[in-house]
Amino acid sequence: MSPYELFIAPFSEFEFMRRALAGVLALALGAGPIGVFLMLRRMSLVGDAMAHAILPGAAVGFLLSGLNLFAMTAGGLIAGFVVALLTGVVARTTELKEDAALATFYLLSLALGVTIVSLKGTNVDLLHVLFGNVLALDNQTLLLIAVNATISLLALAVIYRPLVLECVDPGFMRAVSRAGGPAHLAFLVLVVVNLVSGFHALGTLLAVGIMMLPAATGRFWARDITLMITLATASGVAAGYAGLLLSFHAGVASGPAVILVAGALYLFSLLFGRVGGLVRQYFPGRHLEA
Amino acid sequence: MVTRRLWIAAASAALLAASVMAPSLTAAQQSAHTKIRVIASFSILGDFVRNVGGDRLEVATLVGPNGNAHVYSPSPADAKKVSDAKLVFVNGLGFEGWLDRLVKASATKAPIIVASKGIRPLERAGAHDRDHEHGSADPHAWQSVANAKIYVSNIRDALIVADPAGRRDYETNAASYLARLDVLEREVRATLAKIPPDRRHVITSHNAFGYFEAAYGIHFIAPQGVSTESEASAKDVAAIISATRKEKVSAVFLENVTDPRLVQQIASETGAKVGGLLYSDALTDEKGDAPTYIDLIRHNLRQLATALTS
C-alpha cells in the first residue's frame, strides 16, 4: 500500500471522511486549551460530570421538537449553564468546595433528565439519539462545531490573563483584581459550550476524551502554559487524524479509535516526557558537573 | 396505480374484519375477569398473540411500540407482569438478550414459549463478516410472512396446551389470521415481482431484513452490524459507499429505531434516493403507520415499491 493510499486516499475519496476530519480538528482546537485549564485547576473530571448535567436540557429539546440539532443544543446549553453557574456560585459563597457543589447539581440534573425521558414512555435509547457519530456530520453540525471552536478561542484570548493567574496563584489574583470570579464563570461557560457541541457531533467519550487526554499529554512536555496548550492542541489534532485512519483501515469504531490514539500519545508521554516523565524521573541522566 | 388499488382492497378488508370483530369486543368486556394473562416480549409478537387469542387473552408486551428490543432494560414492573402471566411468549434466536435474567428475577412458573421454533435460522449477515459473530442466528425472522405463519402456528399450539377449553376459538382465530397472512404474502410477491432485477439494491440503517431478502429477493446493505449495539467503523461506511457506487444502489431507507444521520450522510454522498421509514423491530402506536404486523409489512412494501420503481 503506497503512502498516498494509506494517509490521503481515505480523505480524498470519501466525503464523510473529510467531514469527520474537519469536525475532529475543529473540536481539538477548541478543546485543547480548555482541557489544559481544566487540568491545571484540578477539574479534570468536570467534563464527565457535565456530560450528565446536560441530559435534561437536551431531552426536553428532543421531546419538544424531535431530532432537531438546534433545539437539543439550546436545551443542553441551558441545562449545562445552570449547573455550571450554580456550582460556581455555591463554591464561592458557601463551605462546599467546587467538586462537591458540582456533584450535587449534576446528580440532580441527571435524575431530572432520566425522569423526563421516562415520562415520555418510549425506550428508544435517547443517549444514542442525542449523542452523534463522527462519521455522520452534516453541514449544520459541522457549522456548530466550527462556531463553537471559534467562540472558545476568541473568548479564551480575552480572559487568558486572569485565568492563568487564577490557576497558578489564586491568592495573589484575589489581592490585585476582581476579574477572577467573572473569568472563572466565563471559563465554565466555555467548558459547557465545547462539551455540548462535542456531544451532539461526536459522542460523549470523544468529547471528553479529546479534551482531557491531550491536556495531560502536554503536561509531560512543558512547564510553560503557552507551550503546554500548543502541544495539547497539536496532540489532539494528531490523534484525530490518526484515529480516523485507524478506524478506516482497521475497521474499529471511529470515536474510540481517536481516543485510543490520544491515549497512546499520553502513555508515551507518561513514560518518556521531558517534564516529570517516569523514565526521566527514575533514570535521570548524569548531572552536568563543573 | 395497481398498488393503490391493492391498498384500497386491503383497507376495505381490514374494515370488514373490524366490523365483524366489534360485537365480540363487548362480550369480552363482560368476561374480563376470566381472561388469561399472557406476556409477549415485543410489540410484533404481541400482535400475533392478540390475533390468535382474540378475547380469551389479556396480552401485555414488555417492549412497547417504537421500542428497541435490542437494548431494552426491563423495569421492576416488567418483572411483576412476567410473574403474573400464565404464558410468556418470546421471539428467541437471541433477540431478547435481557430476558433470561428477567425471567429468573421474576421467579415466574409460567412456561416460556419460543415463538420462532421450527424456523430455519439465517446466519447473521452484515455488510461484512466479523468472525466472532459467526454461528449466531439473525433473530428478525418475522420479516418473512412465511415465517410469521410459523409464529402463529406455534402460538396457537401453545395456547391450546395451556388453555384446552379455548381450543375451538384459538383454531378459528388462527385459521382466519393465517388466511390473511396468505393474502399478504401473495401481495408482497406480486408487488415486488414488478421491480426490475437491477433496481433491487437498497441500504438500511439496521440490518434487520435478512429474512425479507432471502424470501423476496431484495438485497439489503446495512452500515451497522445485525445488532444496533455495535457502532459502525469508518471502514464499514466506506465499504458501503463503495458498494453503492459499484452496484447502483437505488434507495436508502431510514428506520424507526436507529440513528438516521448516518444514513442521510451515505445518501448525500452517493446520490441514492432517500426512501421513507422501513419498520423492522417494533410496531408504531395506534396513530402511526404500522400499528399491526400486517400494516407493518404493507407499509414497508409500499415504501420499497415507490422508491424502487419510480
C-alpha triplet B95, B107, B282: angle, nearest 5°:
25
Cell of A88: 460556581
pLDDT band at B263 (very low <50, low <70, confident <90, very high): confident
pLDDT band at B11 (very low <50, low <70, confident <90, very high): low
Q: Would you say residue B19 lies in a domain?
A: no
Q: Would you say residue B2 lies in a domain?
A: no
Cβ atoms of A158 and A40 closer than 8 Å: no
> Do residues B242 and B176 share a domain?
no
Which chain A residues are Cβ-neighbours of B245 within 8 angstroms? none
Cβ atoms of A209 and A215 closer than 8 Å: no
Domain boundary (B188, B220, B242) is at B188
> Do residues B256 and B174 share a domain?
no
A122 touches chain B (CB under 8 A): yes
Rounded to whole angstroms, the Cα distance separating A251 from B236 reads 7
pLDDT tens digits for B285-303? 888 888 999 999 999 999 8
pLDDT tens digits for B188-239? 999 999 888 888 888 877 778 889 999 998 888 876 544 444 566 788 778 7
> Do residues B159 and B209 share a domain?
no
Bridge-based pairing state of the strands B219-221 and B112-114: unpaired
Q: Which of A279-283, B115-119, B197-201 ranks highest by mean pLDDT?
A: B115-119
| A123, A137, A249 ranked by CB distance to B68: nearest | A123
**Which of B131, B235, B262, B279 has the most A C-beta neighbours within 10 Å, making it the best mutation to test the interface with A?**
B235
Mean pLDDT for chain A overall: 85
CA distance A202 to chain B (A): 12
Q: Would you say residue B1 lies in a domain?
A: no
Q: What phi and psi values does residue B293 have, to the nearest 5 degrees?
A: -60, -45
C-alpha triplet A41, A46, A47: angle, nearest 5°:
120
Q: Which residue would you say has higher pLDDT here, B6 or B200?
A: B200
How many Cβ atoms sit within 10 Å of the Cβ of residue B146? 13
A7 touches chain B (CB under 8 A): no
Mean pLDDT for chain B overall: 80
Cell of A174: 484575589
Cell 456550582 locates to A87
DSSP A5: I
Q: Would you say residue B27 lies in a domain?
A: no
What pLDDT does B6 receive? 58
B69 touches chain A (CB under 8 A): no
What pLDDT does A290 receive? 61
Touching A: B residues 223-252, CB under 8 Å = 228, 230-238, 241
pLDDT tens digits for A72-128? 888 888 999 899 888 888 888 888 888 888 889 988 988 888 788 777 655 455 555
Rounded to whole angstroms, the Cα distance separating A71 from A81 reads 15
pLDDT band at B257 (very low <50, low <70, confident <90, very high): very low
**Closest chain A residue to B264 measured between Cα atoms?**
A136
Cell 400486517 locates to B294
> Do residues B144 and B277 share a domain?
no
> Do residues B234 and B176 share a domain?
no
> Do residues B131 and B163 share a domain?
yes
> Do residues B170 and B208 share a domain?
no
Angle between helices A254-272 and A204-219 (to 10 degrees): 20
What pLDDT does B66 receive? 78
CATH code of the domain in which B53 resides? 3.40.50.1980
What pLDDT does B254 receive? 64
Q: Is the pLDDT assigned to residue A176 strictly greater than 90?
A: no
Residue A124 and residue B68: Cβ atoms within 8 Å?
yes
- Percent of chain A having pLDDT more than 90? 30
pLDDT band at B14 (very low <50, low <70, confident <90, very high): low
Best CA proximity match to B51, nearest among B124, B135, B149, B137 = B149
CA distance B150 to chain A (A): 29
Domain boundary (B151, B172, B188) is at B188
- Percent of chain B having pLDDT more than 70? 79
Task: State which amino acid sits at residue A104.
Answer: T
Q: How many domains does chain B have?
A: 2
Please compute the mean of the pLDDT values over residues A21-41 and round it to a whole number: 92
> Do residues B78 and B155 share a domain?
yes
Residue A16 and residue B241: Cβ atoms within 8 Å?
yes
Q: Would you say residue B13 lies in a domain?
A: no
CA distance B168 to chain A (A): 37
Domain boundary (B133, B154, B188) is at B188
Q: Which residue would you say has higher pLDDT here, A68 or B117?
A: B117
What pLDDT does A237 receive? 95
Residue B295 is part of which domain span? Answer: 193-309
> Do residues B176 and B206 share a domain?
no
pLDDT tens digits for B132-183? 344 478 889 999 999 999 999 999 999 999 999 999 999 999 999 999 999 9
> Do residues B206 and B289 share a domain?
yes
Task: State which amino acid sits at residue A92.
Answer: R
Q: Would you say residue B7 lies in a domain?
A: no
What pLDDT does B133 receive? 41
Overall pTM > 0.95: no
pLDDT band at A246 (very low <50, low <70, confident <90, very high): very high
CA distance B59 to chain A (A): 19
Cβ atoms of B67 and A122 closer than 8 Å: yes
Q: Which residue would you say has higher pLDDT here, B214 or A177?
A: B214
Q: Would you say residue B14 lies in a domain?
A: no
What pLDDT does B185 receive? 95
Q: Is the pLDDT assigned to residue B122 strictly greater than 80?
A: yes
Rounded to whole angstroms, the Cα distance separating A87 from A247 reads 38
| A14, A133, A255 ranked by CB distance to B238: nearest | A14
DSSP A133: -
Query: How many Å separate Cα B6 from the centre of its chain?
Result: 22
What pLDDT does B172 receive? 95
How many Cβ atoms sit within 10 Å of the Cβ of residue B179? 10
CA distance B178 to chain A (A): 31
Best CA proximity match to A192, nearest among A38, A47, A29, A24 = A47
What pLDDT does B228 receive? 46
Q: Which residue would you say has higher pLDDT here, B70 or A269?
A: A269
Q: In terms of C-beta density within 10 A (0-12 exposed, 13-18 middle, 19 or more buried), how is residue A12 classed?
A: exposed
Cell of A150: 471559534
Q: Would you say residue B145 lies in a domain?
A: yes
> Do residues B149 and B208 share a domain?
no
Cβ atoms of A27 and A205 closer than 8 Å: no
Cell of A183: 473569568
B256 Cβ neighbours under 8 A, 6+ residues apart: B66, B277, B279, B280, B282, B284
> Do residues B39 and B179 share a domain?
yes
Best CA proximity match to A220, nearest among A273, A143, A289, A151 = A273
- DSSP result, chain B: -HHHHHHHHHHHHHHHHHHHHHHHHHHHHHTGGGPEEEEEEEHHHHHHHHHHHGGGEEEEEEE-TT--GGG----HHHHHHHHH-SEEEE--TT--TTHHHHHHHHT--SPEEETTTT--PPBP--SS--GGGTTPBP--GGGSHHHHHHHHHHHHHHHHHH-GGGHHHHHHHHHHHHHHHHHHHHHHHHHHTTS-GGG-EEEESS---HHHHHHH--EEE-SS-SSTTSPPBHHHHHHHHHHHHHHT--EEEEESSS-HHHHHHHHHHHT-EEEEEE--S----TTSS-SSHHHHHHHHHHHHHHHHH-
In the sheet that holds B57-63, the strands lie side by side as B57-63, B36-42, B87-90, B112-114
pLDDT tens digits for B99-112? 888 888 888 888 89
